[in-house]
């Protein structure tokens, strides 16, 4: 009985939403507004959709059971345990690293470019994971720190001619500073309130960048941002005055592929650095404190842990990672505008964290790769990108709510 009610209710909601969003359309006709109904064909789609919602709710249990039968490959079992892992780990890591370095020379330029993008999202996912997965703070405005990092490099490079390598730590520092300034007043808030404030903060930063035309160029953004150089060697066709280019130095022909591969290699190094730092953090007192605070805040307070300081550290470190990724993004793109830092970016990064399995680094790396490569593979569906995105989320939550690779904590053992 409850099922039927549920199904009718869901179908009703679907009907109302579909009618409002697809069923009626407003058009301007000269100075007046006209309301159009949907075409008969669209109506048949809407009715079909509503029937689907009704049936899927009515037979939710059976569907869940069917989902349950789909085998769940336990990815975390692929990772060897205990002593074996300790022995294998250095070799495994070295192997992965070598593959990552050799791979770009064997494939097309487009793939390398895409891989670089995926690496940026891995950095962002890992950074947000500190805040959401490890410290348990829901941050919906993470993209703000990404923007701060990107604009820090773009502006410093444009106005003061500073190089990428100098700006990289400055960008991370700026983003950390913003994280600190935002976190200080708002980390007292809990759960949903924190989410709303951070959401607002993300928008404020974007709107600020959009309107502060004198400095940021407003909606036009900043273009012609310098690319990173290799110990002073540039990757452009012609050297800037007093500079040397890479191909001239090595006496080879110019090819723009070098630049793409170089950017990719920088991204690999940055990601490796971020992974190293986060792995250390998780084994350090601060990492344990994040975990403890997530489990029982009251017990933490009674033991002399300053919860504001601990949350703030997670927020700040997460923000600085985004700043890192941001300045690299600006350097790779050569052009940034507020368009690149809309809420949907925050949502995608959060989706990476949730799909990957909160707290789990391997899961997040996989999810980031999937989330960047899938839209490229399904280019013909690009109009339906958000729809597919939503569908993936719903299916994942039904099939594997704990994420691709559920988190496994590094456990400290005595002796």
Partner 1 sequence: MSQLLLDVNGLTMQFGGLKAVDKVNITVKNRQIVSIIGPNGAGKTTVFNCLSGFYIPTTGSVLFKGKEIAGMKDFQISRQGLVRTFQHVRLFSNMTVIENMLVAQHRHLNTGLLSGLFKTPSYRRLEREAMDRAVFWLKEVNLLDSANRESGNLSYGQQRRLEIARCMVTQPELLMLDEPAAGLNPNETKELDELIIRLRDEHEISILLIEHDMGLVMGISDHIYVIAQGMPLADGNADEIKNNPDVIKAYLGES
d(CA 120, CA 369) in angstroms, rounded, equals: 10
Q: Which stretch binds partner 1 (CB under 8 A): 140-148, 178-186, 213-221, 302-310?
A: 302-310
Q: Which residue's CB is nearer to partner 1, number 296 or number 339?
A: 296
Examine residue 84 and tell whether it contacts partner 1 (CB under 8 A).
Answer: no
How far apart (Å, rounded) are the C-alpha atoms in residues 26 and 34?
A: 6
Compute the C-alpha angle 254/264/330, nearest 5°. Answer: 95
Phi, psi dihedral angles at 36 (to 5 degrees) = -105, 145
Q: Which of residues 306-345 bind partner 1 (CB under 8 A)?
A: 306-307
Q: For residue 397, give Cα distances in angstroms to 56, 64, 337, 357, 394.
A: 15, 11, 34, 11, 5
Binding positions for partner 1, 242-281, rule CB under 8 A: 277, 280-281
Q: Which is nearer to partner 1, 217 or 359 (CB)?
A: 359
According to the binding rule CB under 8 A, does residue 298 interact with partner 1? yes
* Residues 301, 307 contacting (CB under 8 angstroms): yes
DSSP secondary structure string for all residues of 259-286: HHHHHHHHHHHHHHHHHHHHHHHHHSHH
Instruction: For the CB of residue 319, give the shortest distance to partner 1 in the complex, in Å.
Output: 14
Which residue from 79, 101, 292, 373 is in contact with partner 1, where contact means CB under 8 A?
292
CA distances from 391 to 2, 81, 156, 351, 355 (A): 25, 34, 41, 12, 13
Q: How far is the CB of 283 from partner 1 (least distance, A)?
A: 9
Please tell me whether residue 90 binds partner 1 under the rule CB under 8 A.
Answer: no
303 binds partner 1 (CB under 8 A): yes
Of positions 65, 85, 284, 395, contacts partner 1 by CB under 8 A = 284
Cβ(310)–Cβ(293) below 8 Å: yes
Under the binding rule (CB under 8 A), the answer on residue 196 touching partner 1 is no
Nearer to partner 1, 35 or 412 (CB): 412
Binding status of residue 402 toward partner 1 by CB under 8 A: no
Q: Kindly state whether residue 285 participates in binding partner 1, applying the rule CB under 8 A.
A: yes
215 contributes a contact to partner 1 by CB under 8 A = no
Q: Does 199 bind partner 1 (CB under 8 A)?
A: no
Total chain residues near partner 1 (CB under 8 A): 27
374 with 386: CB under 8 angstroms? no
Which tokens belong to 142?
């993470």
Sites of contact with partner 1 (CB under 8 A):
277, 280-281, 284-286, 288-289, 291-292, 295-296, 298-307, 409, 411-414
């Amino acid at each position: 009985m409850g099922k039927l009610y549920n199904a009718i209710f869901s179908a009703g909601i679907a009907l109302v939403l579909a009618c409002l969003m697809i069923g009626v359309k407003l058009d301007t006709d000269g100075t007046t507004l006209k309301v159009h109904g949907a075409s008969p064909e669209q109506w048949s789609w809407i009715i079909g959709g509503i029937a689907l919602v009704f049936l899927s709710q009515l037979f939710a249990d059976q569907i869940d059971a069917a989902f349950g039968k789909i085998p769940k490959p336990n990815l975390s079992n692929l990772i060897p345990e205990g002593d074996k892992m300790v022995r294998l780990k250095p070799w495994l890591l070295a192997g992965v690293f070598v593959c990552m370095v050799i791979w770009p020379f064997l494939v097309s330029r487009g793939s390398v470019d895409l891989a670089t993008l995926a690496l940026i999202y891995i950095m962002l996912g890992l950074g947000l994971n500190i805040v959401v997965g490890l410290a348990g703070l829901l941050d919906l405005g993470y993209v703000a720190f990404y923007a701060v990092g990107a604009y820090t490099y773009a502006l410093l490079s444009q106005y003061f001619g500073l190089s990428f390598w100098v700006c990289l730590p400055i960008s991370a520092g700026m983003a950390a500073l913003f994280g600190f300034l935002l976190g200080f007043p708002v980390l007292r808030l809990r759960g949903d309130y924190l989410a709303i404030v951070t959401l607002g903060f993300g928008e404020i930063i974007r709107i600020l960048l959009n309107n502060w035309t004198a400095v940021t160029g407003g909606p036009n953004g900043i273009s012609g941002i310098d690319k990173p150089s290799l110990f002073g060697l540039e990757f452009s066709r012609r050297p800037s005055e007093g500079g040397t280019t890479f191909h001239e130095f090595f006496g080879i022909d110019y090819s723009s592929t070098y630049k793409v591969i170089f950017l990719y290699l920088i991204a690999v190094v940055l990601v490796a650095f971020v992974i190293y730092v986060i792995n250390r953090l998780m084994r350090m007192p601060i990492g344990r404190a994040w975990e403890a605070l997530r489990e029982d805040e009251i017990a933490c307070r009674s033991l002399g842990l300053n919860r504001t300081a601990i949350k703030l550290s997670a927020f700040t470190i997460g923000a600085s990672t985004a700043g890192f990724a941001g300045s690299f993004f600006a350097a790779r793109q050569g052009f940034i505008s507020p368009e690149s830092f809309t809420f949907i970016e925050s949502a995608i990064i959060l989706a990476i964290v949730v799909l990957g399995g909160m707290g789990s680094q391997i899961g997040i790396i996989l999810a980031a790769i999937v989330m960047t490569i899938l839209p490229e593979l399904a280019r013909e569906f690009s109009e339906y990108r958000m729809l597919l995105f939503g569908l993936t989320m719903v299916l994942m939550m039904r099939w594997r709510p704990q994420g691709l690779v559920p988190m496994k904590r590094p456990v400290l053992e005595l002796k």
